[in-house]
Amino acid sequence: MYPSIDLEDAFLRIRNFLTTSPLCDNVSADPILVALEIIMKRNCFRFGDTYWLQTDGTAMGTPPAPSFAMLYYGIFEIDLLQSFGSSLHYLRRYIDDQFGIWIHHPDPAVDRQRWDEFKECQGNFCTLNWDFSTLLKTVNFLDLTLTVEPFHINTKLYEKPLNLHLYIPPNSARTSSVRLRLVTGGIFRILQLTSRDIDKKQSLAKFHSHLFARGYKLKFLNSAFETALQQFSKPRKEPVTPSSTDHLCFLHLPFHSRDPSQKTIQDAFHTQVLRPISRSKTFGRACNFELSRLSTDRVTWEGLFIQTPLPLVPKTEFEDYLYNIWNPHNRNRNGLIVAYSRPPNLKNLLFPRHVESKCLTARTVSTIQDELLDHTPSTEPN
């Protein structure tokens, strides 16, 4: 869908919509349009060892690209619903996947004519070519199979025949909570998107077998399934309004199995930063202090007790003391959020494009953009 959008037509339609629609009374159109024009017309990307400037269509890979495309076609759909509202009971779209419920006309000839006009109207807008399925009682849309029954709509999960079910392997370098949440999230997805009990049981059995084939132990799977099913059967609590994050500190780390646990970091933060006895330490020393208290005794083959320290936090260069980072702006800090990212694997470390990208500085990217813009043919009349 992205390459099929004419930018000039899109900017014109979006400008008219932002300035005239009652849905956009409190929207500042000019800053939005200026920002979109910068992003859409200066999209420089890398392919192999070459650099390119995109000159047509929506800027691929940019954060506002999905919203830009959705808004552009959504403005057209407002007029579409007004023209075919008597035949369209329901119409929803995600990027370029569309789902609707068509109300048949009593006269089959009129109904067929209206259906052809609907397809022609969408086909004439921009250069996007739509593939329409026939009007059926059952259809696959995204990851769902929907079936229209006399008084309701049945839903169940849809999977492509070539789906390999490549879930995160159990020995992946991630926290143990990630594996548990993978199971819990998959079960909740099945139970929420599937309407019939027989389909739920079949999907749960397939999900269990796919995880087992991926390398997960039966003991872990059975325990995780039981916990997730118990959580889902509990009465739903009212949604809690999230508290402000202004008083929280964030620590983002690449995960390593030998690093101090999240609990150790949280304990060190609370005892050494929030309520410190002494602030003459760095945060790494504070973690090491907590770890030294957790050292364990073990017996050697000679029967001697020796001290086995847990892995310590490596000392970092330029690490500031706690009294320098303690409330520098007189703000009340009352918690710490520790977030982990996946560490780089061999592909990330050895693949040439990833290695070369680390050597590319922001200044180099800016220089390449300017050079590409200088060599772009001018479209202004002489």
Q: What is the DSSP string of 265-333?
A: HHHHHIIIIIS-S---SBHHHHHHHHHHHT-EEEE-TTS-EEEEPPPPPPPPTTPPBHHHHSSTTS---
Rounded average pLDDT over 129-144: 87
Measured CA to CA, the distance from residue 204 to residue 225 in angstroms comes to 9
Measured CA to CA, the distance from residue 382 to residue 380 in angstroms comes to 7
> 147 near 137, Cβ under 8 Å?
yes
Average predicted confidence (pLDDT) for the chain: 77
**Residue 379's pLDDT band (cuts 50, 70, 90):** very low
> 251 near 337, Cβ under 8 Å?
yes
pLDDT beyond 50 at 209: yes
* Helix/strand/coil for 118: helix
pLDDT digits (tens, 9 = 90+) for 146-161: 998 888 889 999 998 8
H/E element, 148: strand 144-148
Domain chopping of the chain, boundaries: 2-135, 176-233, 248-341
pLDDT beyond 80 at 376: no
Residue 219, strand partner residues:
none
pLDDT digits (tens, 9 = 90+) for 286-310: 555 555 554 444 444 344 444 444 4
Residues sharing a CB contact under 8 Å with residue 192, sequence separation 6 or more, in sequence order: none
pLDDT digits (tens, 9 = 90+) for 259-286: 888 888 888 887 777 766 555 555 555 5
